[in-house]
């Protein structure tokens, strides 16, 4: 782990909580990236959030660009989302029986996401991708799946191979406990490299059930698809009778109201959703054309179930979020704010002479501490200076701005990040880049 001079704000309450948490929860956290291994130091324990802000246990306020890793596209505790959840809770929190809210959210998703005619709700992105693989295998009767280096699709065994996100930060090659048996049908290709995919189809022409891809890489930092990449995947799937799975758990409602498939005009066979679709509550979904989705039980034979799936609180939060997101002008405002932020940060870096590379698609963005061209693959991303990123991270924390505690995670903006919030972020960045230059 890296070492740093202690930042000036006091994190003594977070430290006490962290020590206590580590006694009862592995590493003190319920998801590894929260432990700050990517930047060193003590993870901040968060007490509350409102709009663009969060407050830690020591009372510091931060402008938040993590936003629960993407879901909170309206900001923290949006009044309409909170109201919707309260109203739902008062009617009973779970029934294990169908409700009206599930239909409403499914209809909304179908209206918004081009390739989708039917939706099955689950409780997390992991569950969504795991089920999507099962579905692709059930539909095609084939065993193998292609995934890309640096793409993260949740922690299901078959997908925990050369994944990004926390796995990247921790530098785990794979994970112990994942057997050869469960990953032997997982093939790994290079992101943005169609030849590496073709080579796999050449080798296993009749065995590949599908390709799963983040249509915009988000879990190695933001790595957009190069022109022709997604189209090329579509063509290869068509040629070999495999299904194309867009894992839009992060990109759904983040790069375009209709997801990456609407932005790049490429239709996948199966779409996975999560994060924004739950408005800050635990929701995932897998979705697609009727003909594919009717393989799912009880219509079809592919089994998949969930005690809390389609939970009324979660459906309400998702519905309230998507309703606001679709109001006229909202999306354009979000994208304009993301543009203002990334331009301002880029200019600040340039003014200070600190080499950085920026990427942004819609409302997700990255700041890579590296020279040269924007990264297009995991190999490129690995060149980033993680220690510089860590210094930037702690510098921004001192200025009251919370970015992801890892170089290999995306940043997110919300509707609550107005001009004033963004301009204060840029002013903070100017200071921190100057410190980095003089270090
Ligand atoms: C976050 C994420 C997942 C996993 O979702 P969880 O809700 O954390 O299980 C899967 N795929 C992508 C692309 C993600 O960004």
The pLDDT of residue 75 is above 90: yes
> Is 198 designated active site?
no
Cα–Cα dist 348/267, whole Å: 38
- How much is the pLDDT for 265? 98
- pLDDT, one tens digit per residue, over 14-54 is 999 999 999 999 999 999 999 999 999 999 999 999 999 99
Closest C-alpha residue for ligand 1 atom 11: 153
Residues facing residue 61 across a β-bridge: 55
Atom of ligand 1 lying closest to residue 69 CA: 1
pTM, two decimals, is 0.96
Distance 267 CA to ligand 1 centre (A): 20
Q: Please give the average per-residue pLDDT across 68-90, as a whole number.
A: 98
Strand pairing report for 208-213 and 243-247: parallel
Compute the distance from residue 48 Cα to the ligand 1 centre, in Å. Answer: 23
Asked whether residue 276 carries a pLDDT value surpassing 70, the answer given is yes
Query: Cα 79 from chain centroid?
Result: 24
- Tell me, what's the pLDDT at 5? 47
Ligand 1 centre distance from Cα of residue 165 (Å): 9
| Residue 172: per-residue pLDDT | 47
**Percent of the chain scoring above 70 in pLDDT:** 95
Whether 261 and 233 have beta carbons less than 8 Å apart is answered as no
Ligand 1, pocket-test mutation among 148, 153, 309, 318, most atoms within 8 A of CB: 153
- What is the dotted CATH code of the domain comprising 79-325? 3.40.640.10
CA 91–ligand 1 middle distance (angstroms): 30
The answer to whether residue 247 is catalytic is: yes
Best residue among 159, 212, 219 to mutate for probing ligand 1's pocket (most ligand atoms within 8 Å of CB) is: 219
Residues 80-108: pLDDT tens digits?
Answer: 999 999 999 999 999 999 999 999 999 99
**Dist. CA 211–CA 226, nearest whole Å:** 17
Beta strand pairing call for 364-368 and 411-412 = antiparallel
Q: What is the CB neighbour count within 10 angstroms for residue 345?
A: 24
Among 84, 178, 185, residue whose Cα is nearest residue 133: 185
Residue 2 has pLDDT above 50, yes or no: no
SS3 148: strand
Q: What is the pLDDT of residue 167?
A: 58
Probe target for ligand 1 pocket from 73, 122, 154, 218, with the most ligand atoms within 8 Å of CB = 154
- How big is the CA angle at 376 (ends 220 and 204), to the nearest 5 degrees? 90
**Cα(282) to centroid(ligand 1), Å:** 11
Of 257 and 168, more confident: 257
Tens of pLDDT, residues 137-187: 999 999 999 999 999 999 988 888 776 666 555 544 468 888 878 888 999
Question: What's the pLDDT tens digit per position in 359-388?
Answer: 999 999 999 999 999 999 999 999 999 999
Catalytic: which of 56, 64, 193, 247?
247
Confidence of residue 1 (pLDDT cuts 50, 70, 90): very low
Q: How far apart are the first and last CA of the chain?
A: 20
For 31-98, give the DSSP string: SGGGG-TTT-SPPPPEEEEEBTEEEETTS-EEEESSGGGTT-TT-BT-HHHHHHHHHHHHT-S--SS-
Choose the catalytic residue: 152, 264, 389, 402. 152
Is there a cis peptide before residue 221, judged by omega within 30 degrees of 0?
no
pLDDT of residue 177: 84
**Is CATH 3.40.50.2300 what the domain over 9-77+328-438 is classified as, yes or no?**
no
Per-residue model confidence (pLDDT) at position 3: 42
Measure the CA–CA gap between 334 and 395, rounded to whole angstroms.
Answer: 26
**Cβ atoms of 291 and 86 closer than 8 Å:** no
Does pLDDT of 358 surpass 80? yes
Q: What is the DSSP annotation of 166-189?
A: HHHHHT-SS-TT--HHHHTTEEEE
Residue 181 pLDDT? 81
Report pLDDT for 168.
Answer: 54
Predicted pLDDT of residue 178? 83
Domain ranges of the chain: 9-77+328-438, 79-325
> Would you call 147 a catalytic residue per the annotation?
no
Over residues 126-135, mean pLDDT? 98
Averaged confidence pLDDT in the chain: 94
CB 287 within 8 Å of CB 120: yes
The set of protein residues with a Cβ atom below 6 angstroms from ligand 1 is: 124-126, 129, 152-154, 214, 218-219, 247, 249-250, 274, 284
Query: How confident is the model at residue 258, as a pLDDT?
Result: 98
């Amino acid at each position: 782990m890296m070492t740093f001079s202690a930042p000036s704000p006091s994190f003594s309450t977070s430290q006490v909580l962290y020590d206590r948490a580590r006694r009862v929860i592995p590493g003190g956290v319920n998801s590894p990236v929260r432990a700050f291994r990517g930047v060193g130091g003590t993870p901040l324990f968060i007490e509350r959030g409102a709009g663009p802000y969060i407050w830690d246990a020591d009372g510091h306020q931060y402008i938040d660009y993590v936003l629960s890793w993407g879901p909170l596209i309206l900001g923290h505790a949006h009044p309409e989302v909170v109201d919707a959840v309260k109203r739902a809770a008062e009617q009973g929190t779970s029934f294990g029986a169908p409700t009206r809210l599930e239909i409403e959210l499914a209809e909304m998703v179908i209206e918004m996401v081009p390739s989708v005619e039917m939706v099955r709700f689950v409780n997390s992105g992991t569950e969504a991708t795991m089920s999507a693989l099962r579905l692709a295998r059930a539909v095609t009767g084939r065993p193998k799946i292609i995934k890309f280096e640096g793409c993260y699709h949740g922690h299901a065994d078959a997908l925990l191979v050369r994944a990004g996100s926390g796995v990247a930060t921790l530098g785990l090659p794979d994970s112990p406990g994942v057997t050869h048996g469960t990953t032997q049908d997982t093939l790994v290709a290079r992101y943005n490299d169609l030849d590496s995919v073709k080579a796999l189809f050449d080798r296993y022409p009749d065995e590949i059930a599908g390709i799963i891809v983040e249509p915009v890489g988000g879990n190695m930092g933001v790595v957009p698809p190069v022109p022709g990449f997604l189209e090329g995947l579509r063509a290869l799937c068509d040629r070999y009778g495999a299904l194309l799975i867009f894992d839009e758990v992060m990109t759904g409602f983040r790069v375009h109201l209709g997801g990456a498939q609407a932005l790049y005009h490429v239709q996948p066979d199966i779409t996975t959703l999560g994060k924004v679709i739950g408005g800050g509550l635990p929701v995932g979904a897998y979705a697609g054309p009727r003909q594919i989705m009717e393989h799912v039980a009880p219509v079809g034979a592919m089994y998949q179930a969930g005690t809390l799936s389609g939970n009324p609180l979660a459906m309400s939060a998702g519905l309230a979020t998507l309703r606001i997101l679709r109001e006229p002008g909202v999306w354009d405002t979000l994208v304009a704010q993301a543009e203002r932020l990334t331009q301002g940060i880029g200019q600040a870096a340039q003014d200070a002479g600190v080499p950085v590379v920026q990427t942004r698609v819609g409302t997700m963005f990255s700041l890579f501490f590296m020279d040269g061209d924007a990264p297009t693959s995991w190999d490129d991303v690995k060149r980033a200076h993680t220690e510089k990123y860590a210094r930037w991270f702690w510098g921004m924390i001192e200025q009251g701005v919370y970015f992801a505690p890892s170089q290999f995670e995306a940043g997110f903006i919300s509707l609550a990040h107005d001009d004033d919030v963004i301009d204060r972020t840029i002013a903070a960045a100017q200071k921190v880049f100057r410190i980095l230059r003089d270090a």
